[in-house]
Amino acid sequence: RDYVAGGSCPSKANILGKTVIVTGANTGIGKQTALELARRGGNIILACRDMEKCEAAAKDIRRETLNHHVNARHLDLASLKSIREFAAKIIEEEERVHILVNNAAVMRCPHWTTEDGFEMQFGVNHLGHFLLTNLLLDKLKASAPSRIINLSSLAHVAGHIDFEDLNWERREYDTKAAYCQSKLAPRVGGLSLPGGSERGVCSPPCPSLPSPSGTGVTVNALHPGVARTELGRHTGMHSSAFSSFTLGPIFWLLVKSPQLAAQTSTYLAVAEELEGVSGKYFDGLKEKAPAPEAEDEEVAQRLWAESARLVGLEMSRGSSVRGQPLDE
């Protein structure tokens, strides 16, 4: 079963003294990733919306790993204000940030909107992490070598970036299609800086990937596999008698535990052999080609510009990023 599920992280490397941020780390893959990295000596920051659950998760991880450098911080990716506040505190209080794991996500929820009026899946899965990553980018550069790890999904293959209606305001809402778009967006280039090689950081996959010696920041994406987590609570699978009884044995074989699903993000965070490897997409522990649209540089540039406009991110004349609203 472990072989079918993809296996465990082969690297034994530790990250003693390195600071790690894991979004959505109070449960599921995020919590297990934080636990795995805490075992390896990291200074772990759990970034979550629900602080009661976040504090409980941090307590669990401290108890299990005996690593007392595990802390809970409030971050609501459905709120641009919350993201800015979180990033400002990190920049002020943390000397270094070495690893950013963009893990949090919502999946196939009803047609909800974020605090700022974005379709929830696009707003959280893409725009929230887009703003967070760019606000922390200078800190990551100053901490180099550092790594950005984006949790994607095999669902990105079925996604399409509809620039005419990114927020599903004109079409009849399709929760599955909206999820697929939200998982394709970061992969198509939405967490990159415009001008890839010129700016020095590029989201996976990136046709014009810069030399790692440029900024010392690498960016990779992954599909963790299908896992038994709370992410699928809106799909109906948990309440389906057919799924539970008829497909139960198949699910047991193919659906990963959160611990196994966290092995890929752990691997991308710590593996010494991945030092300097950037712009790649991993399915489990193996590099894999992403969907063709994810490699379209023209789409990537357009999406970056539109995402920056939506979240109020402004580029200065240099390569730094300012996270102030455009009207300020």
Judge contact between 237 and 245, C-beta under 8 A.
no
CA atoms within a 13 Å half-sphere pointing along the CA-CB vector of 148 = 32
Strand segments, DSSP code E, in 190-236 are 217-223
Strand segments, DSSP code E, in the chain are 19-23, 43-48, 70-74, 99-102, 146-151, 217-223, 281-283, 286-287, 314-315, 321-322
Q: What is the DSSP letter of 187?
A: I
Among candidates 38, 65, 218, 41, which has minimal Cα distance to 143? 218
- Give the integer Cα–Cα distance in Å for 53 and 74: 11
For the chain, counts of helices (H) and of strands (E): 13, 10
N-to-C CA span, the chain: 55
- Give the integer Cα–Cα distance in Å for 307 and 314: 11
Per the listing, tokens 């994406």 go with: 221
The residues carrying an active-site annotation are: 179
- Give the integer Cα–Cα distance in Å for 97 and 45: 10
CA atoms within a 13 Å half-sphere pointing along the CA-CB vector of 238 = 9
